Structure 1
Amino acid sequence: MLSSDNHKIDAALPMAPSDLTIGDLLGALAEHGDKPLVFVYDGRPVKPGYHVTEVKAGEFSALDCEANPESWSEIFIQLWDVDEGGPVHMLAGKFAAIIRKVADHVALDQSAKLTFEISDGVRPMELHRAAQPSIVGGVIEVELTPRPASCKPRDRWLKEQKATSQPCCGASRCC
């Protein structure tokens, strides 16, 4: 659920932008269908006439750089950042209706990784991940940040290190 001005979705644990799923996004928008939905990338909002030009769902299988098998589901939402739709941004309800219509024809795993493809029709398409939506001045904003490359074995190792490390002052003695 969204909270008021400049606040993120209420959650027990904060999510990294790469963790946002289509289910998370649609759930956050559910009670705010009458509010404009504005995606922000490269430090600026999309133009009011942006279009959702394509929604794709994929199942991927791969080997990482240490030959570990990997598999995941991913949903790609393609945004065309143009000024052709009028003076206001698309309403959250219309965006949700587009996704529901796609779901009538394409199986959308609600827990799938969510990636946005965005272009103005001139610049090459860029891949972005989405942060949790927030309400800013009566508008729902979703910050999109470039999706970086990563090394999955390194990411797993870092996660393990963080999970096994003890806080210095959490024990009876400090370091």
Structure 2
Amino acid sequence: MNAIDKAVSSDITLGHLLDVLAVAPDAPLVFTYDGNPIRPGYHVTEVKAGQFSALDCGANPEAWSEIFVQLWDIDEDGRTHMPAGKFSAIIRKVSDHVRLEPSAKLTFEVSDGVRPMALYCAATPRLDAGTYLVNLQARPASCKPRDRWLAEEQAKSACCGPSDSASKCCP
């Protein structure tokens, strides 16, 4: 198994993204995906929220909230990258009309208008030389029962290193 096989989702939430961006609202917000930065004229073309109910491959019921932010990767009118505060204002405007759960899973849909839209999850933004950088990684398919099992195994291995008698973790 390679490292990606062992990865358990570390999606950030919309609330976490907005909290981080509030620290420096004038900083340019640059998303990177497929190894490249988004072009300076990008648009937030749609923000949508969904409540999902499903049955996973282990016949376990699943339910979650998810927010999709659609980015159109274009360069027009000699623009610069959108300031973090403008991105946050767009989200606030959407929240006036659509219920956006701050703790919802956050998914980015990105296309340049030519290639098909692709789904990405976001890493925590980092402020680097006055610019917010948000790395987007392709959202892989996953098996939720396997993901839960991996999380349990990781918790056990983190807990059960060399044991001492005072440890409440391991017998």
Question: Which TM-score tier does this pair reach, normalised by the shorter chain?
Answer: 0.7 to 0.9
Instruction: Write the distance in 2 (CA, Å) between the matches of 1:116 and 1:168.
Output: 38
Give the gaps of 5 or more residues in structure 1: 1-15
2:130 maps to a residue whose letter is: G
1:102 aligns with 2:94: yes
Deviation at 1:171, TM superposition (A): 4.1
Percent of aligned positions with the same letter in both sequences? 66
Give the gaps of 5 or more residues in structure 2: 1-7, 166-171
1:169 aligns with 2:162: yes
Deviation at 1:61, TM superposition (A): 0.2
Instruction: Write the distance in 1 (CA, Å) between the matches of 2:143 and 2:9.
Output: 17
1:151-166 correspondence to structure 2 within 5 Å? 151-165=143-157, 166=159
SS of the aligned residue for 2:162 comes to helix
Deviation at 1:164, TM superposition (A): 2.8
Runs of at least 4 residues off by over 6 Å: none
Instruction: Write the distance in 1 (CA, Å) between the matches of 2:24 and 2:13.
Output: 18
TM-score, reference length from structure 1: 0.85
1:124 alignment partner in structure 2 = 116
SS of the aligned residue for 1:169 comes to coil
SS of the aligned residue for 1:101 comes to helix
2:105 maps to a residue whose letter is: K
Instruction: Write the distance in 1 (CA, Å) between the matches of 2:105 and 2:152.
Output: 21
1:36-84, CA deviations, whole angstroms, 9 ceiling, x for partnerless residues? 0000111111000000000000000000001100000000000000002
More moved, 104-113 vs 136-145: 136-145
1:52 aligns with 2:44: yes
2:89 maps to a residue whose letter is: A
Instruction: Write the distance in 2 (CA, Å) between the matches of 1:79 and 1:138.
Output: 22
Instruction: Write the distance in 2 (CA, Å) between the matches of 1:17 and 1:85.
Output: 37
Instruction: Write the distance in 1 (CA, Å) between the matches of 2:114 and 2:163.
Output: 54
Q: Rate the CA distance shift 1:18–1:115 in 2: closer, same or farther, 3 A.
A: farther
1:83 aligns with 2:75: yes
Q: Kindly tell me the number of residue pairs found equivalent between the two proteins.
A: 157
Instruction: Write the distance in 1 (CA, Å) between the matches of 2:9 and 2:130.
Output: 22
2:139 alignment partner in structure 1 = 147
Deviation at 1:159, TM superposition (A): 1.3
2:57 alignment partner in structure 1 = 65
2:162 maps to a residue whose letter is: C
Instruction: Write the distance in 2 (CA, Å) between the matches of 1:163 and 1:90.
Output: 39
Instruction: Write the distance in 2 (CA, Å) between the matches of 1:86 and 1:36.
Output: 15
1:86-134, CA deviations, whole angstroms, 9 ceiling, x for partnerless residues? 3410000100000000000000000000000000000000000000000
1:31 maps to a residue whose letter is: V
2:5 alignment partner in structure 1 = none
